[in-house]
Amino acid sequence: MTVFGRIIKFALQDIFRNLGLSAMTVFILVLMLLSVNTLWSLDVVTREAVALTKDQVNMSLYLKSSTLDKEVVELTTFLHTVSEVTAVQVVDRAAVVESFKQRHQLSPDVIQALTELGGNPFGPTVVVKAKEPQDYEKIIAVLNVPEYTKLIESKSFDQHEEILGRIQTITNRVESVGLGLTAVFAVIAFLIIFNMIRVAIVTQRTEISIKRLVGANNWFIRGPYLIAAVIFTLVSIGITAVIVYSTVSWLDKYVGVLFQNGFSLTNYYASHMLYLFSLEAAAVLVLTVASSSLAMRRQLKV
């Protein structure tokens, strides 16, 4: 414990001797971690947006007014057997005409024309929901048989593929930029730590020589620099966690407007905190230890 305490003491001395470089190292590491968390948050929000958009996609089958109730039952029963279908809802004739009146309540000519018909010209509507947007094409193909085409007057398919495609395109572009920034910050952090350790070793050659003369082994000499790498990791992770939580708490009031299903970035980070920051801490530790070890391998030959 005495030896370990001395190693920590020497590590803190080295950090404060090069306080400017130490602060710059932590700053770059924090920027790198913020880039990673931005990408992570973007991926989470995108997946939630895509899932929400997919949930709103459906297909309406407008049946002819001459369709019998038993034919509607046969059609819905068949749709339930299609593996791509997750839900089937039947809107009866009365509900269809009421919906039509609601949509055209500001168009008296349309309402008057409907009244003059003296009856309900609409048939029932069957609303179909599939697992994935691309499954609707398969469902349409399955229904493209004389037995069902004679019942279906028209189909309405809310094609959200274009919206989903745009979301994915924007996400991919932002992720590419974010990955590039993360890589740049990682390289800068590596070089800063490498040069900081090298400068520290060069300026302490006399001290290192004295330590060797009095019997200090390589681990005692290398220890302070490795401990410094661990300190940089812990400090940068701590600062990043504070910034991330403050930011997502502020963003939640805007995210809540977009997602009406109660989605919260703060709750997501709270539930994934241990996994996410442990993974980031491990990555930063590997980066800092690797750069420190590489600098020590050459410079400690005294």
Q: Are residues 96 and 36 in the same domain?
A: no
Q: pLDDT class for 274, splitting at 50, 70, 90?
A: confident
Q: Are residues 77 and 211 in the same domain?
A: no
Q: Are residues 67 and 41 in the same domain?
A: no
Each residue of 106-124: pLDDT tens digit?
777 777 777 777 677 888 8
| 24, 38, 125, 299 from 217: Cα distances, Å | 30, 43, 83, 15
Each residue of 224-273: pLDDT tens digit?
777 888 888 889 889 988 998 888 888 887 777 777 667 788 888 888 88
Selected residue with higher pLDDT from 186 and 93? 93
Among 104, 138, 159, the domain boundary falls at 159
Q: 28 with 188: CB under 8 angstroms?
A: yes
Domain with residue 91: its CATH number is: 3.30.70.3040
Residue 1 is classified by DSSP as -
Among 159, 174, 192, the domain boundary falls at 159
Each residue of 55-99: pLDDT tens digit?
777 888 888 888 888 888 888 899 888 888 888 988 888 888 888
| Residue 243, both tokens | 């910034």
What is this structure's pTM?
0.68
Q: Which structural domain range is residue 196 located in?
A: 2-53+163-299
Q: Left (φ > 0), alpha (ψ -120 to 50) or beta: where does 128 sit?
A: beta
Q: In what order do the strands lie in the sheet with 152-157?
A: 85-91, 125-130, 59-63, 152-157
